[in-house]
Chains A and B, each alone.
Chain A
Amino acid sequence: MSISATASQPAPLGRRIKRFMSDYPLVPLLALLLLLVLVLQIMQPGIVNQRWIANTVKFAIPLALLAGCQTMTMLTGGIDLSVGTVATMAAFIVATQGVDHAAPVAMLIALVPAVLIGFANGIGVGVFRVHPLIMTLGTSLIGVGFLQVYQRTVIAAGAKVPDFLIWLGTGLTGGIPNALLLFIPVAALLIFIQRRTGFGRLLYATGDNERATRLAGVKYWQVILALYMFSSVLAGIMGLLYMGLIRAPSLSLAEPLVLPSVAAAVIGGTSIFGGRGSYTGTIVGALILTVLTTLLTILQMPEGARRILFGAIVLLVTAAYLRIVDDR
């Protein structure tokens, strides 16, 4: 069988591997993840057990959720840098409103800024054609400003994180993180949107060739507005979950995750130029980054050296991955 395949397809082996990788970009990613886990196990035998896995998953989930925002926006050639601020606002507001309100009400209030910022992003990018980088950076700064003002009004009231969020963020059931209860449906929804809905198709097509979608009758601003609102609400939900995991409200809670979320999407094979990528790849990307962080932690290096190494590895992996997968 392999002989006949070779006979009918005289393409050189390297080229065929490349095309295979391009068609199944998840394969090299999973291989890399396994390799990292293997290295970890060799360096510190016995570390890879169920508890470690649960812990890794628990910390990878918030990153994967934020990276979901990046994947969706990057499909259209955009980016959403306001996700950190949106998540932080949601987290901070749910903790402070949790003092006076029931948990569901507090959570709903917490998502209001997410909707507003998403709307502003969508109008800015979709209607006024501001570059997404600038638009989301701008709304992000405005959001931080509002949060500081808000903090002064509630400074005396204290904070109370709803118990449900703590259960969801940190709890384990039979050794399995409860956060998966939120994550699995969200991930399934994202993947479904990307593969099986008209909206998902339009994200890919818009990122690939906006002019072509226009000629096909697609109204750009509608797609972009819906996209950035979706992204923002997703970031808000991630903020709620992250609050339950960290349990200490701060004004920069989720900010450190913003750039890793971009990195996770890029490592996962989503093109920042649009039209290419999938959320499954992003999930693996988030796992890779989380495992890599653990790996660098146990190396017992100074913080500075760790960051240098982290950055260098992210660059190398992305460059290598693009070379393997890019079929041109």
Chain B
Amino acid sequence: MTTSPLLDATGVAKRYGAVAALKNASLSLLPGEVHALMGANGAGKSTLVKILTGAISANVGRILVRGQERDIRSPAKARKAGLVPVYQEPSLIPDLDVLSNLRLTNTPVEPFRNWVRELGVPDLDLRELARDVPLAIQRVLDLARALAVEPDVLLLDEMTAALPANLAERVLEVVKGQSRTGRSVIFISHRFVEIAALCDRATVLRDGETVGVVDIVPGVEERIVELMLGAKVEKRRVTQQRAEDAASPAGGSTRIAVRNLSVGTKLQDVSFDLKDGEVAGVVALEGQGQDELFAALAGSIRPAGGTIEVDGRQVRFSHPADAVQAGIAYVPGDRTEALAMQQSVRENIALPFSAAFRNWGPIRMGKEGATVQGAIERLQIDTRAQREVQRLSGGNQQKVTIARWIAADARTLLCFDPTRGIDVGTKQEIYKLLRQLAAQGKSVLFYTSELEEVQLVCDRAIVIFGGRVVDILPVEIADEAALTRAAYGLPRDAKADVGILADVHSDPVTRP
């Protein structure tokens, strides 16, 4: 390399208390380059982008812009240094019109207009309130706003995720155009097709560290997946856990049948069955529609299309109470969503008992106490600090969210990443519990962001990508490597020679 890098970050680390979000990340960006930033969920991509754009500041690390150390410890300073981000979520202030939003960031209007036109939106009224602009167009406006200030480095975080195909195509063209004028782009995406079409190199993060920088050439996606997985890539055989419950009924009757379900803009067309006596894993990268899927099954939001059948009868949930009535309980991954933190363990576990109007009367304390105690013992909740749930440890809090539905004897649990951020011992207990529930003929839909859990807990893995079910893997082959590949939308048996990157030239995106 003779050209000196435009942006050079080395040894960047960021800690939150005891948690290291980023340990040792580096990224070197050449002028005129489109550079992909890749990594599994939680690898530190977002943290690194936020540091590079001044949203948060790193604990250690050196960041050089055009060979000089620049102060980028606030978004305004990062902007001045030529680093401008477009984040995943729309950043226009909804109650201001588009023009006021531009003034707010000191964005020149004429270049903005030109970029908007270039990006395929010919008729934009600058006086329109941002909230009245459709979501997809808002993303385009965000991008145009960033382009209008002519940044040296543009950072795009999942830019195309919420865009319809025609707009996405224009966006990719414009990004490619940027690189021709000597500017650089850092591009975060889960879509190999886009990365293949657009990027020159990729930096791969794993567990907060940069583990490799690769040139994007046909067949490199296997290498990238390997880098993202690290040493874990060697195949692990199905674990002892499964052997223990060989008795679990493989052919239970269908409990929930989801057909062509679509929710909002994220979930497109999902069909699968959940049987009695099974734990079905759901695997997806962040934001592929899994949140919407669980919310729809739990009755929190209404689907836009498709059907949900419970025990062979079609249902339309308009409130979580309807789902609870049908024996379907939702256990959110975020405990603060499920717990009344200032109330006691007992009150939290017993909460569903009083939910229905007919149960508002006097509580039969003896009976309730016995039921709650049973659930506490089954989950081995440490109740030394039971007067307020907020005094419990995270793992015990998570157990309370599950114990509630054990006590209520729900037939189906929708567990959304229930082991996130809890200790290893508690994780094991939760795995065991879910297997026991399945052995009793209950059914569990289990979304997890930790892929190795699939083989520990699940009977099969439903992989969702871009709002669609892309594969359903039997547990025997659902190791981390296979799941990762599937989660990125790569075909199951893809090897380097038949990889998607080989078909780059037949992809319409790349055509000028």
Contacts and interface: CB of A to CB of B under 8 A. Distances in A.
Interface stretch (A28-36, A211-219, A238-246): A211-219
B442 interface: no
Identify the 6 closest CB pairs spanning chains A and B, nearest first.
Answer: A198-B354, A217-B324, A208-B340, A217-B321, A217-B355, A199-B360
A205 B325 contact: no
B72 to A, nearest CB: 35
B343 A208 contact: yes
Interface of B: 298, 300, 319-321, 323-325, 330, 332, 336-343, 347-348, 350-357, 359-363, 365, 387-388, 404
Q: Which of B320, B336, B361 has the most A CB atoms < 10 Å from its CB?
A: B320
A276 interface: yes
Contacts of B347: 201, 204-205
B340 A198 contact: no
Given A198-B360, A208-B343, A215 B300 contact: yes
A39 B343 CA distance: 37
Nearest to B391: A327
Given A215-B330, A216-B352, A218-B355, A276 B342 contact: yes
Give the size category of A's interface with B.
20 to 34
B293 to A, nearest CB: 16
B325 A217 contact: yes
Contact of B363 (A196, A214, A215): A196
Q: Which of B300, B347, B354 has the most A CB atoms < 10 Å from its CB?
A: B354
A40 interface: no
A41 interface: no
Interface string A195-231: 0111101101100110111111111001000100000
A127 to B, nearest CB: 13
A65 to B, nearest CB: 22
Interface string A20-31: 000100000000
26 contacts: A192-B362, A197-B360, A201-B347, A201-B350, A201-B351, A202-B354, A204-B340, A204-B343, A205-B343, A208-B340, A208-B341, A208-B343, A209-B336, A212-B337, A212-B338, A213-B340, A215-B320, A215-B330, A215-B332, A215-B337, A217-B324, A217-B325, A217-B352, A219-B319, A219-B321, A275-B343
Q: Which of A197, A209, A217 has the most B CB atoms < 10 Å from its CB?
A: A217
Contacts of B342: 204, 208, 275-276
A226 B358 CA distance: 13
A202 B347 CA distance: 9
Nearest to A328: B390
A205 B340 contact: yes
A199 B361 CA distance: 7
B373 to A, nearest CB: 17
Nearest to A212: B338
A114 B340 CA distance: 31
Contacts of B319: 214, 217, 219
B298 A212 contact: no
B157 to A, nearest CB: 27
Contact of B387 (A23, A199, A202): A23
Nearest to A271: B342
B363 A213 contact: no
Nearest to B335: A212
Contacts of A216: 320, 324, 351-352, 355, 404
A276 B344 CA distance: 11
A199 B338 CA distance: 19
Contacts of A212: 337-340, 351
A205 B350 CA distance: 11
Given A197-B362, A201-B363, A205-B347, A217 B356 contact: yes
